[in-house]
Amino acid sequence: MAPTTTNSRENLLDAALHASRSKGNTATAVDDLSRRGQGGTKGAFFHHFKTKEKAAVEAAGHFSAMAAGRFSTVPNHELLSSSRSP
Q: Is residue 57 part of a domain?
A: yes
Number of domains present in the structure of the chain: 1
User: Which candidate, 25, 22, 23, 27, places its Cα nearest to that of 58?
Assistant: 25
Q: Is residue 62 part of a domain?
A: yes
Q: Quick one: how far is CA 63 from the chain centroid? A: 5
Q: Is residue 47 part of a domain?
A: yes
Residue 62, helix vs strand vs coil: helix
Q: Going residue by residue through the chain, which has 86 residues, state the pLDDT in tens, using 9 for 90 and above.
A: 444 445 889 999 999 999 988 988 899 999 989 888 766 789 989 999 999 999 999 999 999 998 888 887 777 656 655 655 55
Q: Is residue 24 part of a domain?
A: yes
Q: What is the pTM of this model?
A: 0.71
Q: What whole-number distance in Å separates Cα of residue 70 and Cα of residue 62?
A: 13
User: Which candidate, 20, 14, 54, 53, places its Cα nearest to that of 34?
Assistant: 14
DSSP string, 29-58: -HHHHHHHTTS--HHHHHHH-SSHHHHHHH
Structural domain boundaries enclosing 22:
8-83
Q: Is residue 3 part of a domain?
A: no
